[in-house]
């Protein structure tokens, strides 16, 4: 085959390093953004945290690395705090993990040295929710490789039985049935309801999960009241035994830090970014002076200083890009939130969700003059603090639905009706998706059954069969 050359024209989208950096910063919620700035300060020797003063501190930058010029400045806060407002650092006290707690209990068991090592390895294989999801053969291979101890699946089963008797109850279970049985077996079976519950879990678990209650009552030969008491006992068990462990010194609950503050008073909105703990960065003046000392008046750099000058130049470039990306992030967030606030102004006055207008990402993108992907990054994992609570920005977006009269309503309104209908339904005969569709159609909402199923799943509501109660 002959070799030939030809020219082809094609369009390719390329992003500059600053654009890539800005995109990554835009996606970060407030807490991670704060950590990202601190990480950049640690990694880039040119950047330093600016001291907080009443007056704006001087911003130092580099133009052609030889003369001073203004850097892309940004200011995320104003000095509107009184002298009594002091920053109080959050003290985190780390307690024991669940694995450490289980290992401590293991010390009270009569085990040999190798058995203890293998049992501790099993404990380390337990997931955060308390389940052991790995098969025994794989664990046996890992133990032989990492500990040099040959053990069989049967020996591991015996040691797992020891772990099953540790607290919290149900720890180390392989599946939901075993988890519930372990918890029930550790309780005193001193009532008929508890004994019946144990029988249901051990012999009729599939029927119980599928909520075939009438069939179970007939097979067990019990009354509805007796069966209901047994189900109540099962409901007191935890499907995730890892959640039963708690250390008074350790709080793993996540904190939601809002990205925006929205104040409403005197019929006016005030929007600001939550930036109290966000450090303000600038380029260190010492590196400016360092370059000046290395560069002669005619612009010559000695051979021994070239590498150092090149290093400092690259760090200054990186610092300038980072500061510019922070400013662009600030402007994009404020611009987007201002348009959302203007679009949903009636909702933000009192927090009445029935006043939410249908809104999609493209609506805000068109109003803000930004791309839809940019708006998506802004609202993802971002929160706003209002006078009626903290809201997730993504929850404000909803599809538009049309009624028989031609009016446009938000899909949130339909979800509210679905939730109300399901809350008020007869739990012995729960409403099917088709029945819910007929109810919505009778109220003037033109909606299909598959759409009802989609909204029900979005509300985390199970199908009618699984909502059935005795």
Q: What is the percent of the chain with per-residue pLDDT over 70, rounded to a whole number?
A: 83
Query: Which of 83-97, 183-197, 233-247 reaches the highest mean pLDDT?
Result: 183-197
pLDDT (mean) for 353-380: 87
pLDDT tens for 120-177 read 999 999 998 889 998 999 999 999 888 888 989 899 999 999 999 998 889 999 999 9
List beta partners, residue 445. Answer: 403
For residue 168, whether the previous peptide bond is cis, meaning omega lies within 30 degrees of 0, is yes
**Positive/negative CA dihedral, 163, 165, 168, 170:** positive
pLDDT (mean) for 400-415: 73
The phi and psi torsions of 245 (rounded to 5 degrees) equal -80, 135
Query: Strands, DSSP E only, in 246-367?
Result: 260-265, 268-273, 281-283
Distance CA 416, CA 423 (A): 10
Distance CA 246, CA 101 (A): 10
- Local structure of 378: helix, strand or coil: helix
Please indicate, yes or no, whether the overall pTM of this predicted structure exceeds 0.75. no
Contact partners, residue 208, CB within 8 Å, separation at least 6:
200, 201, 216, 234
Distance CA 78, CA 55 (A): 10
The phi and psi torsions of 266 (rounded to 5 degrees) equal 55, 40
Distance CA 112, CA 118 (A): 10
Reply yes or no on whether the pLDDT at 17 is more than 80: no
Q: Are the beta carbons of 233 and 197 closer than 8 angstroms?
A: yes
Q: Which helix (H) or strand (E) holds 385?
A: strand 383-386
pLDDT tens for 242-301 read 877 755 444 445 577 888 999 988 888 999 888 766 778 888 888 877 777 777 666 666
Q: Quickly state the pLDDT bin for 15 (edges 50, 70, 90).
A: low
- How is the beta sheet containing 268-273 ordered, strand by strand? 268-273, 260-265, 383-386, 389-392
Looking at domain 400-467, what is its CATH homologous superfamily?
Answer: Homeodomain-like (1.10.10.60)
Distances (CA, A) of 297 to 170, 293, 301, 304, 426: 77, 10, 10, 17, 88
**Positive/negative CA dihedral, 288, 292, 295, 299:** positive
pLDDT (mean) for 75-101: 54
Which runs of consecutive H residues, i.e. helices, occur in 92-131? 98-106, 113-124
Reply yes or no on whether the pLDDT at 339 is more than 90: yes
Q: Are the beta carbons of 287 and 66 closer than 8 angstroms?
A: no
pLDDT tens for 187-216 read 888 899 999 999 999 999 998 888 888 888
pLDDT tens for 422-439 read 988 888 888 888 998 888
Q: Where are the domains of the chain?
A: 16-79+253-397, 98-244, 400-467
Reply yes or no on whether the pLDDT at 92 is more than 50: no
Mean pLDDT taken over the chain: 81
Distances (CA, A) of 42 to 28, 231, 234, 385: 19, 57, 53, 31
Least confident range of 43-52, 81-90, 358-367: 81-90
Q: Quickly state the pLDDT bin for 70 (edges 50, 70, 90).
A: very low
- Select the more confidently predicted residue: 282 or 86: 282
Distance CA 53, CA 78 (A): 10
DSSP state at residue 47? E
Q: Quickly state the pLDDT bin for 308 (edges 50, 70, 90).
A: confident
Per-residue pLDDT, 179: 92
Other beta carbons less than 10 A from residue 3's beta carbon = 4
């Amino acid at each position: 085959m002959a070799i030939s050359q030809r020219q082809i024209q094609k369009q390719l989208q390329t992003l500059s390093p600053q654009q890539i950096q800005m995109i990554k910063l835009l996606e970060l919620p407030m807490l991670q953004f704060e950590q990202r700035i601190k990480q950049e300060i640690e990694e880039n020797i040119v950047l330093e945290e600016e001291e907080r003063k009443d007056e704006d501190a001087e911003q130092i930058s580099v133009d052609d690395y030889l003369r001073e010029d203004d850097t892309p400045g940004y200011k995320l806060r104003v000095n509107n705090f009184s002298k009594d407002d002091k920053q109080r650092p959050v003290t985190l006290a780390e307690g024991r993990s669940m694995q450490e707690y289980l290992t401590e209990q293991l010390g009270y068991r009569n085990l040999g040295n190798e058995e203890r090592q293998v049992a501790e390895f099993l404990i380390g294989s337990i997931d955060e929710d308390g389940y052991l999801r790995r098969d025994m053969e794989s664990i046996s291979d890992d133990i032989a490789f990492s500990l040099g101890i040959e053990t069989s699946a049967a020996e591991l089963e015996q040691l797992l039985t020891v772990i099953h008797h540790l607290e919290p109850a149900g720890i180390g279970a392989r599946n939901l049935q075993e988890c519930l049985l372990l918890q029930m077996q550790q309780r005193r079976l001193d009532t008929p309801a508890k004994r019946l519950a144990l029988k249901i879990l051990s012999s009729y678990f599939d029927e119980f999960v599928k909520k075939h209650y009438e069939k179970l009552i007939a097979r067990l030969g019990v009354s509805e009241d007796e069966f209901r008491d047994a189900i109540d006992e099962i409901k007191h068990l935890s499907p995730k035994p890892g959640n039963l462990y708690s250390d008074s010194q350790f709080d793993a609950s996540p904190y939601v830090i809002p990205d925006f503050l929205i104040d409403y008073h005197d019929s006016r909105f005030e929007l600001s970014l939550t930036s109290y703990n966000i450090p303000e960065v600038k380029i260190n003046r010492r590196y400016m002076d360092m370059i000046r000392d290395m560069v002669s008046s005619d612009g010559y750099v000695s051979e021994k200083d070239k590498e150092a000058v090149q290093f400092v130049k690259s760090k200054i470039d990186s610092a300038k890009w980072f500061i510019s990306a922070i400013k662009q992030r600030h402007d994009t967030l404020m611009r987007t939130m201002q348009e959302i606030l203007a679009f949903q102004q009636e909702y933000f006055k009192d927090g009445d969700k029935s006043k939410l207008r249908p809104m999609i990402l493209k609506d805000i993108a068109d109003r803000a003059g930004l791309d839809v992907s940019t708006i998506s990054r802004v609202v993802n994992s971002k929160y706003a603090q209002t006078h009626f609570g903290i809201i997730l920005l993504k929850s404000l977006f909803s599809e538009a639905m049309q009624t028989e009269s031609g009016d446009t309503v938000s899909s949130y309104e339909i979800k509210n009706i679905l939730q109300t209908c399901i809350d008020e339904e007869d739990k012995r005969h729960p409403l099917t998706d088709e029945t819910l569709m007929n109810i919505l159609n009778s109220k003037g909402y033109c909606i299909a059954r598959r759409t009802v199923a989609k909204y029900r799943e979005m509300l985390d509501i199970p199908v009618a069969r699984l909502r059935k109660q005795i």
